[in-house]
Amino acid sequence: MLQPPEKHEPTHKLGIGKAIAVLTSGGDAQGMNAAVRAVVRVGIFTGAKVYFVHEGYQGLVDGGDNIKEATWEKVSMMLQLGGTVIGSARCQDFRTHEGRLKAARNLVKRGITNLCVIGGDGSLTGADTFRAEWSSLLVELVKTGGITADEAKRSSHLNIVGMVGSIDNDFCGTDMTIGTDSALHRIMEIVDAITTTAQSHQRTFVLEVMGRHCGYLALITALACGADWVFIPESPPEDDWEEHLCRRLIETRGRGSRLNIIIVAEGAINKQGKPITSEDIKTLVVKRLAYDTRVTILGHVQRGGTPSAFDRILGSRMGVEAVMALLEGTPDSPACVVSLSGNQAVRLPLMECVQVTKDVTTAMNEGRFEDALKLRGRSFQNNWNVYKLLAHVRPPSTKSGYNLAVMNVGAPAAGMNAAVRAAVRIGLIHGHKMLAVHDGFDGLAHGQVEEIVWGGVGGWTGLGGSKLGTKRTLPKKYFEEISANISQFNIHGLIIIGGFEAFTGSLELVEGRGKYEELCIPVCVIPATVSNNVPGSDFSIGADTALNTITTTCDRIKQSAAGTKRRVFIIETMGGYCGYLATMAGLAAGADAAYIYEEPFTIRDLQGNVEHLTEKMKTTVKRGLVLRNEKCNENYTTDFIFNLYSEEGKGIFDSRKNVLGHMQQGGTPTPFDRNFGTKMGAKAVAWITGKIKECSRHGRIFANTADSACLLGMRRRSLVFQPLAELEEQTDFEHRIPKQQWWLKLRPILKILAKYQIDLDTSEKAHLEHITHKGVPVEATI
């Protein structure tokens, strides 16, 4: 896994004789520090010299102490810090020719020919201009005696790689920019807090979030909190929006809700391009409806705080990719941006991305709002369509005549309730009668089935656990009773939201179709488990929330270790045999090692880790963090590893252990899990509605083909339906994990960032892709 083919130069020698500078520019974003840390550590790992440029482009122009060589230890304890430790500044000097001349001299004098820029589109455009002028700047510097001809020759070309750090997620070509997920975390914390006070007083709250030219934060917030209305710059409301909004608020109150929430992006406009402010909306609601209305402008709170697990992993992965792109760069390779597409790292031509980003603003300025939405990419459009369905479409008066049942199976996972809510409401919009099954297959067997209406799932998106109740019981032993209840309640389709038991239980239902005709109905499984071990999906609902819980706990533990010095913590995570949580939390928390079942280890490996930590204690970083997946090895238990570390570390370091347990299944869902659950629920109902119609014969449903029982999963960039029968071959049933898992290829990064001398497999290189496809960016669909 770790050894690349012979033809590749070993990655730990790639940077010898080269120098890389890293700077953060423009507005700060949580996760920038993770990216800086990764650039520094991977740069040093390859043998390159790495320099910090403090205060962004201003530091590049001013030189002196602003450009300092970085060391491994200097980036320790940076992961969990918000903002940017090396500072950022808006720089006017760099916009001038003289400023860029000074910057070029400062780089040449230090032998730096590789520049990594973390910032927004303005910062990246500046970097591209700098690169284009590089040769002429050197000629001028030689002429004026600023540098020697020899120095110019050694620095003949400048490589530039960008990473996008922006909380607005306004850069085209990347699924998520660094900082967006953390900003959503801040927003949702506030929305959840406001919801409780609004309910107490039956208030309407207007919340203004950042996004001058991009409505991403506002849109995802609206989806994740079930807002009544959202205003975004890309899609202004119809001209009679005032009447529509008031009608909507009255309807929500009429259904028994005690609050209304309206989300406004700071750049919201009407069709004529005039701003729609939060105060305008408050005035309208008070004047027309006399509702008690309050405005909250979130402001810079959204930029602050600790980065989420996602942003830390994103920053770390992008940092690794940026160093590789710089060191593999040639004078002919264009300046590129490293970004994420689904779960793949990609490289995109920098100026193509900047151009499409500018095209969106141009389209909005010219009133071409349809084009603006298209240019934002499929992901944005999908989010917008789901929001419109849930917020603006009323259930029809004519019913479809179909009954859909929704249930949870397995252990609880945060985000399950968001998926149930979306499924119920989209089902009602399709005209179906929606049935809630309590306590999984057990409840289906014992008739715990009741009709659930629109108001029955109100406020569910932000609730952790499972409101329907969930059990691990499998259906096989209850086929008689389940068939009888499917018949009694006239169930035409079944949506099962849960973990590995939901998958195996549904396979049993399919198996039972031969004997019980009642089981011949369409079935859709939505993966929801903290373990992320369901085949057919890269992510499961609930895994992101669990990952953030583990990461936050590790932060606190590391802080305590930093205070006491010379202490190593061994932490046990959940996941069954699946090492996803241990590996990803290891990346997000900066662990020294993460033991998992998928990567077998021996006593020699454990010994090697102890020796590695012993060496670490001689540096300024006198603490260690080791994660262990609960079932990584039946003999090397958490107690065994703790005892081994305690014995071997005597006189050098203390050891402590911590079993995190069920706290990993609790808590309020993260914005990702709320949004993911909402979209999965909506998509599952649309699919099952089509399947019911397809399998309908003379008023009866008969579904017995393989594709009438599917699992809805996220694969790379898209949400796809896969027949359960096909997934059976891809599953290791004994250990309850998929045979192939995408995240295993991230493990070398974890080891390199923890200073292990291994080789990084670059055989699966991220090749340069192009962003535009017939004028519309190719982007993720989730």
Contact residues for 697 (Cβ-Cβ < 8 A; gap 6+):
none
Whether 211 and 218 have beta carbons less than 8 Å apart is answered as: yes
End-to-end CA distance of the chain: 29
Residues 657, 640 contacting (CB under 8 angstroms): no
CB burial readout 725-752, b (16+ within 10 A) else e:
eebeeebeeeebbbeebebeebbbbbbb
Which range, of 336-350, 500-514, 729-743, averages the lowest pLDDT?
A: 336-350
Helix (H, G, I), strand (E, B) or coil at 21: strand
303 annotated ligand-binding residue: yes
In contact, 417 and 458? CB cutoff 8 Å = no
Q: Does the annotation list 27 as a binding residue?
A: yes
Would the CA dihedral through 673, 671, 347, 356 be positive or negative? positive
Give, in order, the Cα–Cα distances in Å from 646 to each of 121, 564, 774.
Answer: 50, 16, 61
Q: Is 472 annotated as a binding residue?
A: yes
Decide if pLDDT at 80 tops 80: yes
pLDDT over threshold 80, residue 781: no
| DSSP state for residue 10 in the 8-state scheme | P
527, containing H or E segment: strand 523-527
Amino acid letter, residue 273: G
Q: What's the average model confidence in pLDDT over 604-620?
A: 92
* Residue-averaged pLDDT of the chain: 92
Residue holding tokens 């008070």? 286
pLDDT tens digit string along 415-468?
Answer: 999 999 999 999 999 999 999 999 999 999 999 999 999 999 999 999 999 999
For residue range 637-689, list pLDDT tens digits in order.
999 999 999 999 999 999 999 999 898 988 999 999 999 999 999 999 999 99
- Give a three-class secondary structure readout of 430-468: CCCEEEEECCHHHHHHCCCEEECCHHHHCCCCCCCCCCC
Using only C-alpha atoms, the chain has a radius of gyration, in whole angstroms, of 27
State the pLDDT at residue 782: 39
Q: What is the DSSP letter of 178?
A: B
Q: Is 604 marked within a binding site?
A: no
pLDDT-derived band at 31 (thresholds 50, 70, 90) equals very high
Lowest-pLDDT choice from 103-107, 563-567, 720-724 = 563-567
Helix (H, G, I), strand (E, B) or coil at 594: strand
Q: Is 493 helix (H, G, I), strand (E, B) or coil?
A: strand
pLDDT of residue 543: 97
- pLDDT tens, residue by residue, 287-323: 999 999 999 999 999 998 999 999 999 999 999 999 9
Place of tokens 């108001």: 455
Amino acid identity, position 650: K
Does 611 carry a binding-site annotation? Answer: no
Among residues 564, 604, 131, which one has the least CA distance to residue 326?
Answer: 131
Return d(Cα 94, Cα 736) in angstroms, integer: 56
The CA distance from 257 to 249, in Å, is: 10
CA–CA gap between residue 389 and residue 382 (Å, rounded): 11
Cα separation, 679 vs 688, in Å, equals: 14
Instruction: Note the Cα 125 to chain centre separation in Å.
Output: 26
How many alpha carbons lie under 13 Å from residue 15 in its C-beta half-sphere?
26
* Separation of alpha carbons 254 and 632, rounded Å: 53
The pLDDT tens digits of the residues spanning 118-149 come to 999 889 999 999 999 999 999 999 999 999 99
Residue 697 labeled ligand binder = no
Confidence of residue 761 (pLDDT cuts 50, 70, 90): low
CA dihedral 128, 129, 132, 135 (to 10 degrees): -120
Contact 449, 443 (CB under 8 A): yes
163 is in an annotated binding site: no
Predicted pLDDT of residue 333: 87
Q: How many CB atoms lie within 10 A of CB 312?
A: 31
Amino acid at 490: N
Which range (200-209, 337-346, 605-614) has the least confidence? 337-346
Is 531 annotated to bind a ligand? Reply is yes
Angle between helices 216-225 and 378-392 (to 10 degrees): 40
Instruction: Check the annotation: does 36 bind a ligand.
Output: no
Pairwise CA distance, residues 434 & 632, whole Å: 41
Question: CA-CA distance, 224 to 165, in Å (whole number)?
Answer: 23
Looking at residue 764, its pLDDT comes to 52
Under the banding of pLDDT at 50, 70 and 90, the label for residue 763 is very low
Residue 8 has pLDDT above 80, yes or no: no
Work out the average pLDDT over 4-32: 83
654 is in an annotated binding site: no
**What tokens appear for 617 in the block?**
């204690």
- 656 exposed, middle or buried (CB, 10 Å; 0-12, 13-18, 19+)? middle
Instruction: DSSP for 179-203, please give it.
Output: THHHHHHHHHHHHHHHHHHHHHHT-
In the chain, the amino acid numbered 492 is H
Q: Does 300 show up as a binding residue in the annotation?
A: yes
* 425 annotated among ligand-binding-site residues: no
Q: Helices 603-616 and 638-648 sit at what angle, rounded to 10 degrees?
A: 50
Structural tokens at position 225:
């909190």
State how far the Cα of 20 lies from the Cα of 9, in Å rounded to an integer.
19
Residue 745 has pLDDT above 80, yes or no: yes
Q: Taking 90 as the threshold, does the pLDDT of residue 156 lie above it?
A: yes
Lowest mean pLDDT among 7-21, 83-97, 516-530, 567-581: 7-21
168 is a catalytic site residue:
yes
Alpha-carbon distance of 547 to 671, in angstroms, equals: 13
Helix (H) or strand (E) holding 31: none
6: confidence class by pLDDT, cuts 50, 70, 90: very low
Exposure pattern of 428-462 as b/e (b: 16+ CB <10 Å)? bbbebbbbbbbbbbbbbbeebbeebebebbbbbbb
- Contact indicator for 25, 125 with CB cutoff of 8 Å: no
Catalytic position from the list 28, 128, 168, 544: 168
